[in-house]
A = this chain, B = another copy of it.
């Protein structure tokens, strides 16, 4: 594994995105988001994801010049059209808008239709927390998760992010509704490891801890069985109903054609309570175990000090995109 300074990674990705017809400032932001995802240790959605992102630009699913647009507003709730723009750039803008609304009105919400894969959802949670806001966002996805009681993938794994600001380290939960995201399954498979708990069914309908079997069957387990199944359903309903976009069952079930998804971004301003920051520290102190996001700070520091870990073949590929 190479170790490349984050600035150099970002420059390389920026150049690649410019060659793909991103405007320079948008190329720089997109590059930063990918680099920061790898910096934070979310390797499945950082640089390793870049070639697939490029493929979705080249096949026309993602329009590098597509910009999101507000098409309806009712008070602090807005509907946006993503115009098939890059999902990560669209998401940053949507969360920014939710934050601005929340700063003025306590809460702000943006429901965006017709956008594309947002890559690492946690990015927009960190974004909210850095702005001092509680941020909640989720996306629907292509059908890739069978509801509990069925073997057909009619739900999405619909990742959801909840971020709580905290001076000593934000608490950022970033989780798919499946026990293991497809990114996580791939990581376990590439490391040659079994899952620590049952993660889904094999093609014969038996529960298994073998990640490759679940990638084959497309039958991951929802978190908490029937509970995660229900949660995935209502997240899809809220996203599609509020945004006016496509529901999971209307999204093409092909990672390279997964487009037209919906996302919801909500921000809450905790400054309504003077004691909020103090309370965040007290709760984390009482927990006794690691909180979501804690690990990120350690990995981030390491990757900033040593350089981002990059596969040599991928690094070569990134130069030539």
Q: A interface vs B, CB < 8 Å?
A: 72-79, 102, 104-109, 111, 134, 147-150, 152, 154-155, 162, 164, 171, 173, 175, 179, 197, 223-225, 227-228, 230-231, 233-234, 236-238, 240-244, 247-249, 266, 268-276, 279-280, 282-283, 286-292
Contacts and interface: CB of A to CB of B under 8 A. Distances in A.
A230 B77 contact: no
Nearest to A290: B149
B233 A75 contact: no
Given A223-B224, A249-B283, A238 B134 contact: yes
11 contacts: A75-B104, A106-B109, A149-B289, A173-B233, A223-B224, A223-B228, A236-B283, A241-B280, A244-B273, A244-B276, A249-B286
Nearest to A143: B286
Given A72-B272, A240-B279, A233 B171 contact: yes
A269 B105 contact: no
Contact of A233 (B105, B279, B287): B287
Given A272-B242, A273-B243, A223 B234 contact: no
- Which applies to chain A's interface (DSSP): helix, strand, loop or mixed? mixed
B106 A279 contact: no
Given A175-B227, A247-B279, A147 B241 contact: no
- Copies of the polypeptide in the assembly: 2
Given A72-B272, A175-B231, A237-B283, 17 more contacts: A74-B105, A74-B271, A74-B272, A78-B106, A107-B108, A134-B238, A134-B242, A147-B288, A162-B234, A173-B234, A223-B224, A230-B291, A233-B291, A241-B273, A242-B272, A244-B274, A249-B282
A108 B51 CA distance: 41
Contacts of A152: 288
Contacts of A286: 154, 247, 249
A238 B154 CA distance: 31
Contacts of A148: 289
